[in-house]
Structure 1
């Protein structure tokens, strides 16, 4: 940097006016970071609000979104300004002018490109998850091959547009800041040291954005009962950075809703009607108890769980959805059919932890991916293994995805079969087709049966996953364009029906209980704070001597484990807090739903919603219409206590490593 930069630079063009913003001196690049960031984020918010105008107006917040949105933008930009500003007393001098100029130019460029990239990625993320990029955006980055395959086959145009626009933004910002840097002047050190504390204090207040006891956080901007509209108020950069921060604190994640004494948590949970009759003798393993099976059998039954990817009630006609699952509709008359079964979350790993471990949801990542749950964490496989069962997991993709292989092999699954062990006739971005998966499973079940030992097999499908690739000529298409979710569901249903028909011909059918259940719905969206209807999933238990029955009570995925053990004739010790519906499927039930940072407790038609940093909300859920209506009055304290206990307990058990069997 020449001497002109260190003191006063001549105009870029002779005779050109020197604009007032050049008086920001060494803070010129930071000034443009602030201004450019506000322009970029405001333009993005205007476009998003225009796109979602109907929901924004329904929430009654058009003006407030922009006012509070500007406040949120200033907060996130304050974080980006604070880092270089803290270095100003060391570097913003004439002798280090070149280093300071380059540092602030590159920092501002990277910050604006980061902000811009996330805003460009936001529309596609909203289409999938009905909310701005959040922790899911971060979690998927661990699996670039699968994510890129999905983007390439399903969102190629959006991918190209986002990349091209990001590159263009990077070039534009870099050139603009490079030009601005040539006009930067260094202030005398005396002026710098006098003004710097005031600027730093201003940025700190900008980040804090409130005079309240605690600084502003994303929860303060939840202004409506529509989660998407709330997310439009903030910006995607803050949403993602807040998710990163939350993931670092996830062992204590449930504390975002408040605090409850440990003994009160356990007392509330174990007072549930289906747990009152059990003894909990271990203080070290507080939920461990002995469950006596409702069915007494000389020889316990085998177990096969078919976990269907994204097969929500949306696609099941008898549950109020589309007529794209004719095979499942036929099968439901042959076993126990759940009419009001709800998933615990919106990710496959959340469904896995609930179905396979009976573990309740938390705001943290699923235990499938958490370090303290990678060994001796309770699963049905771990418990059945102690009963002499052979246990295995069969998946058409790469089993390392979402850390499934690590979690399963460390917690009772003796064998893992995935894409590498198959010879598929059709392979998509996510691996072997469901038909190839089930063909391999039929071979595996026959081999397990031949060993003369009881077995448990978990089969996880993947054809109903974006970009919805499946073989031609298998089904009559529901939609004219083949590669869509409705056709993918219909193919998954076709493959499932084919599998069950083949299994019925095998000797093990009469000795095996089959559970068919979804991990979650395809897309969870809606104008409710928690779109409860999108958590509704089908569930069916059939096989062996299971008689046809419709279970109409409210049920959760965490109820399936205890119910299956009871049907199989397995009396055992386990830590699951779910309900044994083989003992009682008539009395009222409950469901637990985790949606981003919101936790919903359903009991009858009442919904209690816990929110981070805010009071709980009460609502009414109409299962027939799928509508959630929020009340103006707070929820009854009893419902709040039950909700708090059930969201706090799993975090406590995980943190203290107490969700396990006795040594």
Structure 2
């Protein structure tokens, strides 16, 4: 039995080492000579190890099944060697092919190989014609050498396999032991015990994208994206291309007449804090229990700042809401551009726009930013510093999602004051993003105000955020601070809310801070999360031509509507009414303003055409 276990261990370790051995080729090709030191190279290997372990976990599955069978039945050595040598030859050839192609493509693509390459293989003649002859020869030789080396490394491992069965009294307990081994292997495949599963974002660690890319396992990057391959541009063919483009021109936010009619700020370059509030639905904010408001802090801040009365989320998920808020890009129905690093890297973002104006950019989250590829999206779109659960060691328990909002608001509240002091000294303002997490299932919080777990968790976050803002108000930092409070998405409260109706997507947005010159006021125009970028940049006097979908709420010439997407459908709301459309069934579900249907169709089709082009 020791030999069987040694065989499995050798398969796993050999695969990890082989995957790690591919990294020096990429480092020499694209990192060497660019000012990076030995420490950077070591970090590439250390951070990349998680995906190397995941690939090794997948490769070990077949040998594990074969060993399990060998506990009970004899597998002749010749048969086992043929099976295993063939299997490892396939693993080696596929890995070597991915590696060789990836190494050549990165120079032109700027990201590690994914299933996008299959699009170009639809026409093999054109694909071959596009390849330089000597480059093809070089990469073919590299492929052959790499495959041969991997096959050679696996051969001594195969010789460790023992196909002799055990007596049934021993086979039974060892079968249970292999089940435990399979559990460990599954953890390697999954990427650990954390909420986030294995994805390319798990290896991101630097503001230098080439180092993050060096840490990515190309085999994982390619195979994990196979299910994501889609002809996005053809998914919603409501209009011919000429009509779609003409319709969208009337809706786009970066038109020449997109000029705000008024300025709200007393400070030309304030420090900006965007607090993204998990699940803060408008219906919850307006709720009370026995005369006690669920969100008294939000109600107080609403009366003290600029309140956006008719504001809507673009989706029902955090990953899509974040992209809408921070990049002004509409949510998708059955996709999430945050999970597509090769496409989201080209999105505009408020962080990148402000960084170009001299702002420092930081994002904070008490949980795991690997979840849904958040960290790769953040780094790719201009956030220079990320602070998340791995960076903290608070003397406090964590929930399923991370450190609770009381802990994080205390830390973030103090850091913002420090950053404000530093900004006054250096003359460099900052943009800080902060995502809360306690008002999320399973709604376990150290708080006991309401019997309803969901409302209680919402009240907890409301109190934590309220205290944090009061702390800022009591400091000199407040004078130069603009705080934007906005929810990531709505919440089904009351339970009778249908998932696709407008009220389900209505959320609060409040601007507050000493940098505001305007007295407390309510803004009645209809808008959604995608409109925040253009509105904020417009108030700062910063161009936002690269934000096609984001409309400045204070630009009177632009159309005023809110658009949101749900699973296979969309909704549009404006002052005249609303429309809710099921794109899968091709029918209107609810309509009080028929003229809004083509707006929704145009927005949905344009979003997917845009993704297809990126």
Answer whether TM exceeds 0.5 for this pair.
yes
- Aligned partner of 1:488 in structure 2 is 457
Match of 1:417 among 360, 384, 387: 387
User: Post-superposition shift, 1:295?
Assistant: 6.0
Q: Is the 8 A contact 1:516 1:541 kept in 2?
A: yes
User: 1:388–1:299: structure 2 CA closer, same or farther, 3 Å change rule?
Assistant: same
Q: Is the 8 A contact 2:294 2:455 kept in 1?
A: yes
The answer to whether residue 607 in structure 2 is matched with residue 650 in structure 1 is yes
Matches within 5 A, 1:445-524: 445-449=416-420, 450-451=422-423, 452=426, 453-472=428-447, 477-479=449-451, 484-523=453-492
Instruction: Give the whole-Å Cα distance in 2 for the aligned partners of 1:379 and 1:385.
Output: 10
Deviations 1:427-461 (A, max 9, x none): 22211111221222123323432043111111000
Q: Is the 8 A contact 2:277 2:488 kept in 1?
A: yes
The answer to whether residue 488 in structure 2 is matched with residue 439 in structure 1 is no
Q: Is the 8 A contact 2:497 2:504 kept in 1?
A: no
Identify the range of structure 1 (602-611 vs 395-404) with the bigger mean alpha-carbon deviation.
602-611
Identify the range of structure 1 (567-576 vs 423-432) with the bigger mean alpha-carbon deviation.
567-576
Instruction: Give the whole-Å Cα distance in 1 for the aligned partners of 2:226 and 2:566.
Output: 15
- Aligned partner of 2:92 in structure 1 is none
- Aligned partner of 1:372 in structure 2 is 342
Q: Is the 8 A contact 1:250 1:365 kept in 2?
A: no
Q: Is the 8 A contact 2:581 2:590 kept in 1?
A: no
Deviations 1:562-597 (A, max 9, x none): 111223343443324222123349x97211121111
The answer to whether residue 529 in structure 2 is matched with residue 557 in structure 1 is yes
Matches within 5 A, 1:100-499: 145-146=194-195, 248-252=228-232, 255-272=234-251, 276-278=255-257, 294=263, 299-317=268-286, 323-424=293-394, 425-449=396-420, 450-451=422-423, 452=426, 453-472=428-447, 477-479=449-451, 484-499=453-468
Instruction: Give the whole-Å Cα distance in 2 for the aligned partners of 1:531 and 1:302.
Output: 36
User: Post-superposition shift, 1:496?
Assistant: 0.6
Q: Is the 8 A contact 2:330 2:530 kept in 1?
A: yes
TM value normalised by structure 2: 0.58
Instruction: Give the whole-Å Cα distance in 2 for the aligned partners of 1:310 and 1:456.
Output: 23
User: Post-superposition shift, 1:319?
Assistant: 10
Instruction: Give the whole-Å Cα distance in 2 for the aligned partners of 1:348 and 1:322.
Output: 28
User: 1:245–1:604: structure 2 CA closer, same or farther, 3 Å change rule?
Assistant: farther
- Aligned partner of 1:93 in structure 2 is none
Q: Is the 8 A contact 1:608 1:616 kept in 2?
A: no
Q: In angstroms, what is the RMSD of aligned CA positions?
A: 3.3
User: 1:144–1:363: structure 2 CA closer, same or farther, 3 Å change rule?
Assistant: farther
Q: Is the 8 A contact 1:345 1:351 kept in 2?
A: yes
Instruction: Give the whole-Å Cα distance in 2 for the aligned partners of 1:147 and 1:406.
Output: 13
Q: Is the 8 A contact 2:279 2:439 kept in 1?
A: yes
Q: Which runs of 5+ in 1 are unaligned?
A: 1-140, 149-243, 280-289, 622-634, 658-663
TM value normalised by structure 1: 0.54
User: 1:300–1:331: structure 2 CA closer, same or farther, 3 Å change rule?
Assistant: same
Instruction: Give the whole-Å Cα distance in 1 for the aligned partners of 2:254 and 2:288.
Output: 29
Q: Is the 8 A contact 2:528 2:562 kept in 1?
A: yes
Instruction: Give the whole-Å Cα distance in 2 for the aligned partners of 1:572 and 1:346.
Output: 26
Q: Is the 8 A contact 1:343 1:556 kept in 2?
A: yes
Instruction: Give the whole-Å Cα distance in 2 for the aligned partners of 1:245 and 1:620.
Output: 38
Q: Is the 8 A contact 2:341 2:376 kept in 1?
A: no
User: 1:458–1:444: structure 2 CA closer, same or farther, 3 Å change rule?
Assistant: same
User: Post-superposition shift, 1:358?
Assistant: 0.7
Identify the range of structure 1 (257-266 vs 535-544) with the bigger mean alpha-carbon deviation.
257-266
User: 1:517–1:298: structure 2 CA closer, same or farther, 3 Å change rule?
Assistant: closer
Matches within 5 A, 1:20-39: none
Q: Is the 8 A contact 2:572 2:579 kept in 1?
A: yes
- Aligned partner of 1:100 in structure 2 is none
The answer to whether residue 515 in structure 2 is matched with residue 547 in structure 1 is no
The answer to whether residue 597 in structure 2 is matched with residue 640 in structure 1 is yes
